Amino acid sequence: MRTESGPQGAHSPTDPADPTDSEVSSEPAAAPRPTAGKPFLVQVAALRRRTGATRHEVRQGVIAGLGAVAVAVPAGSPVVADLTLSSYPGGVMAVGLVSAPWIGECRRCGGPVEGTVTARVREHYAPVEAACVDDDAYPLTGDELDLEPLVRDAVLLDLPLAPLCSEECLGLCPQCGANRNLAACACATPGDPRWSALDALRHRDLGDGDFA
Ligand SMILES: [Zn+2]
Ligand SMILES: [Zn+2]
C-alpha cells in the first residue's frame, strides 16, 4: 500500500549556502570548489582544447524526483555516473554507465521490490550557441557541461515499469485478496467464460464432423 504519492516528500534538500556564479567571494584564493552543490557539473575547457582527448569522470549525487508509477529511486540515495568524456570537433561524447538503486511495488502482489538500474549510455554534448542546433545533444554551455540531465534520463528510461518480486509471484487472489505467495486460500477457481465459449465452438466442430 502506497503512503506517499511523490518521492520528493520526506527529504527536501536544504542547500547550505549555495554559491552562485554572480557572487564573487571577497576571500582571496579560496579553495576552488566548482562543483559544490552540483555534483554532476563538469569543467571541460582543458578537454576541449584537443580533439580526441579523453577523461574519466566518476560523479555521484542525489537527484530528486526520479520515479515512475510503481518504482522510484529512494529519496537521498545517490545516483552514480561512471563515464568517459571525449572531445570531438562538434562537442563532447559521454560514454559509460549510470547506476542507481530503486524500490517499488510488485505488480502482482503489491509487495516490496528492489533493484538496481545499470544503464549504458552513449550521448553527446554540443555547444548551445552552435548555429545548427543538434536536437539529440545535451547542452554544452561555455566550457561547462552538466551530466545531471543525462543521468536523469538514463535512470528514468531504465527503471522497470512493472516490477515483479519474483517471476514466480502468485499474486493476490482476485476473490478474497489473500496473498497467494503466503498461503493458498479456499476460494474455488471458476471456469473462465472465454474458455467455455471456445469449448462450445469445439463442440459444434465435432457436430459438423458427424454431418460428413
Ligand atoms: Zn509479488
Ligand atoms: Zn481467495
Q: For residue range 37-89, list pLDDT tens digits in order.
A: 799 999 999 999 999 999 999 999 999 999 988 899 999 999 999 999 999 98
> Which has more pLDDT, 22 or 63?
63
What's the whole-model pTM score? Answer: 0.68
Distance (Å, whole) CA 9 – CA 193: 44
Residue 141 has pLDDT above 80, yes or no: yes
What pLDDT score does 209 carry? Answer: 43
Q: What are the domain boundaries of the chain?
A: 41-158, 170-212
112 C-alpha to ligand 2 centroid (Å)? 21
Determine the 3-state secondary structure of 51 from DSSP.
coil
Residues 6+ apart with CB under 8 A from 171: 108, 109, 180, 181
Q: Please count the other Cβ atoms lying within 10 Å of the Cβ belonging to residue 67.
A: 21
**For residue 128, what pLDDT is reported?**
82
Separation of 187 CA from ligand 2 center, angstroms? 4
From the CA of 186, which ligand is nearest? 2
